[in-house]
């Protein structure tokens, strides 16, 4: 299964996936490219570090969504990589119907909350400010509804009395780094009829 990772930031989730691949824990999946919408994103360094092609793709003309010419460029890049699965790992743009239709049923996202609770931006902060006793992370299929696609798997993270936003974020990120590669590995295995 050929996998493309899309990300916008440091690349810690991409790193977790690539480390899992390096350790032989990604099933039949193979990361074939890493693409970002930020020319200075840390995720670009993951490509060089792990020997995987990594590139900035101009997302213009929009700042928060993938649509128009930028969407066309991303579709072309992902098609060029012959992706069987597109993994959104900290990709901070709303995916629109053109991209969704081009890769229907082949896009997954990692979200830092137990969906359907706390969708959208800052899932960890939303949960922390709300005072929940458990939060976590979710891998889900991507649909037109932001963070509303079918849930593939979740990991629960307890919120302790002494947790700060920073300690809670560290726990959720650790859970994400285990969950996302595990889901990719599971999706890469042939289903039995």
Catalytic residues: 111
Asked if 192 and 170 count as a contact pair (C-beta separation under 8 A), the reply is no
- Cα separation of 41 and 12, whole Å? 11
- Cα separation of 112 and 164, whole Å? 16
Asked if 42 and 36 count as a contact pair (C-beta separation under 8 A), the reply is no
In the 8-state DSSP scheme, what is residue 67?
A: -
- Residue 17's contacts (CB-CB under 8 Å, 6 or more residues apart) are 3, 5, 26, 31, 87, 89, 180, 181, 184
By DSSP bridging, strand 54-56 and strand 65-66 are unpaired
How crowded is the C-beta side of 83, counted as CA atoms within 13 Å?
29
By DSSP bridging, strand 2-7 and strand 30-36 are parallel
Which position has the token pair 């994400």? 176
């Amino acid at each position: 299964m050929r996998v493309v990772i899309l990300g916008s930031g440091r690349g810690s989730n991409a790193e977790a996936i690539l480390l899992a691949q390096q350790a032989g824990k990604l099933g039949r999946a193979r990361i074939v490219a890493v693409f970002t919408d930020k020319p200075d994103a840390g995720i670009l360094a993951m490509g060089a570090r792990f020997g995987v092609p990594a590139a900035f793709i101009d997302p213009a003309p929009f700042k928060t969504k993938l649509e128009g010419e930028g969407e066309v460029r991303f579709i072309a890049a992902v098609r060029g990589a012959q992706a069987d699965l597109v993994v959104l790992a900290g990709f901070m743009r709303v995916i629109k119907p053109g991209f969704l239709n081009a890769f229907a049923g082949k896009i997954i996202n990692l979200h830092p909350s137990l969906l359907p609770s706390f969708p959208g931006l800052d899932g960890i902060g939303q949960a922390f400010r709300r005072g929940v006793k458990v939060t976590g992370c979710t891998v889900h299929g991507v649909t037109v509804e932001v963070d509303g696609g079918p849930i593939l798997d979740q990991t629960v993270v307890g919120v302790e009395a002494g947790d700060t936003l920073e300690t809670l974020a560290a726990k959720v990120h650790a859970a994400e780094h285990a969950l996302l590669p595990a889901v990719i590995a599971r999706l890469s295995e042939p289903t039995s009829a």
